[in-house]
Amino acid sequence: MLAALCKELPVTDPVTLTADLIRCASVTPVEGGAISLLESLLSRAGFVCTRIERNGVHNLHARYGTTGPVLGFNGHTDVVPVGEGWTHDPFGGTISDGKLWGRGACDMKSGVAAFVCAALDFVQDNPDPDLSLAILITGDEEGPGLDGTLAILDWMAAHGETLDHCIVGEPTCPERMGEMIKIGRRGSMTAYLTATGMQGHAAYPHRARNPLPPLIALLDRLAAWQMDGGTDQFDPSTLSITTVDTGNPANNVIPGQATATVNIRFNGAHSSVSITEILRAMVAGAEVEGVTIAMDIKVSGESFVTAPDAFTDLVRGAVQAETGVEPVLSTSGGTSDARFIRRIAPVLEFGVVGQSMHKADEHVAVSDIDALARVYRRLIGGYTDVLAKRLV
């Protein structure tokens, strides 16, 4: 089916398109030609493409069809830096041992290529469909994320564009293609702690105010905090101490200041507000005479879950039909742009095996790319039936 896709188009299949995208060196926030490639491909197939640029970040909104319902696909073409230890060209897009190698192979140029090819195939078979497809591609998911999918959503709101459901094509399968669909994500927040005392000579500690003992005591309490035991849909919340610094190179100087960073991944039993309240109380309890502890909080996203319904069944059915594997519905892992999209539409995530993401010699099985494109094509084909059922 997909082989017949691009008779008049410059790529023939999702594997070729993934390789072409890998050859675009799009390390955040560099566009690298990746979004231009997709824009040209989608425009030639009749999609109305809008480039959305904000603060130097390139994003793309591409829509086919003028009637609802609107099924969206979201993904990113930016990749993390290459790092050390590669045995394959990170931007070569080479195939060997049945695998396609390169930065972004699994996270997530294969996902983007698979849904773009599935969408192209669908509109070629259905030039006048009874649904619309919206493809949302960002060049800023691996970076701060402020000018990526958020910029697309702002543009959509300003132009009356909506989604009824959305699929994010991030890698979701731990080991085997088809085994996991993400229906939600834990929230993520970071507390930046700064303990301030008074610097002094280590031989005369009574003349200094050492910020380290109260900061260490606070970190000890935080490390021991059992936040919860998990919920029906989520694993237990976790807290990790990620940095402790004084910047003090001297063995005989009591530092005047010390800092620490704590990252928290939380489930639906908490919110960033409720956690912040608890943290503030713990910080206040750790302060001693002459040492203050300041705390800055950065919230990356609240936890969310998309309640299983007919759309979930459609995605699950498509995965099972094309991979032969019954997927589990999970909320595990880090954050993704699904945390933004869920504000406007129910969102699920399904993609390839993510084992090598962000690692040297990142790769994806060629057969998994084809399977993913078939899953997406099948669920686009079944989508109007599902939404009709939901509206009955």
Interface residues with Zn ion (CB under 5 A) are: 107-108, 170
Minimum separation from the CB atom of position 82 to Zn ion (A): 16
d(Cα 174, Cα 379) in Å, to the nearest integer? Answer: 22
Nearer to Zn ion, 20 or 107 (CB): 107
Q: CB nearer to Zn ion: give 31 or 161.
A: 31
First to last CA, the chain: 32
- Tell me how crowded residue 308 is: count the other CB atoms within 10 A of its CB: 14
Smallest distance from the beta carbon of 290 to Zn ion, in angstroms? Answer: 46
Closer CB to Zn ion, 112 or 366, in the complex: 112
Distance in Å, CB of 169 to Zn ion, minimum: 9
Nearer of residues 170 and 322 to Zn ion, judged by Cβ: 170
Q: Detail the DSSP E strand segments found in the chain.
A: 48-54, 57-64, 70-76, 95-96, 99-101, 132-138, 165-168, 180-182, 184-185, 187-196, 200-201, 238-245, 253-254, 257-266, 292-301, 304-305, 328-330, 347-349, 363-365
Rg (CA), the chain: 24
Give the nearest distance from C-beta 66 to Zn ion in angstroms. 31
CB of 23 to Zn ion, least distance (A): 18
Give 16's contacts (C-beta < 8 A, 6+ positions apart). Answer: none
Q: Which is nearer to Zn ion, 76 or 209 (CB)?
A: 76
Q: Please confirm, yes or no, whether 245 is among the known catalytic residues.
A: no
Contacts 24+ apart (CB under 8 A), 245-251: 246/212, 251/202
Is residue 78 among the annotated active site residues? yes
Give the tokens for residue 379: 């669920």
- Angle among Cα 238, 239, 245 to the nearest 5 degrees reads 160
Cβ at position 336, least distance to Zn ion in Å: 7
Q: Please say whether the dihedral angle defined by the alpha carbons of residues 196, 249, 262 and 139, taken in this order, is positive or negative.
A: positive
Residue written as tokens 């402790």?
244
Q: In this structure, is the dihedral angle defined by the CA atoms of residues 115, 138, 167 and 234, taken in order, positive or negative? A: positive
| 262: β partners | 191, 241
Q: What residue number has its CB nearest to Zn ion?
A: 107
E strands, 142-285, in order: 165-168, 180-182, 184-185, 187-196, 200-201, 238-245, 253-254, 257-266
Q: Which is nearer to Zn ion, 161 or 368 (CB)?
A: 368
From the list 78, 161, 349, 362, the catalytic residue is: 78
Q: Which is nearer to Zn ion, 100 or 291 (CB)?
A: 100
CB of 347 to Zn ion, least distance (A): 14
Q: Count CB-CB contacts under 10 A for residue 340.
A: 22
Is residue 158 classed as helix, strand or coil in its secondary structure? helix
Active site residue ranges: 78, 141
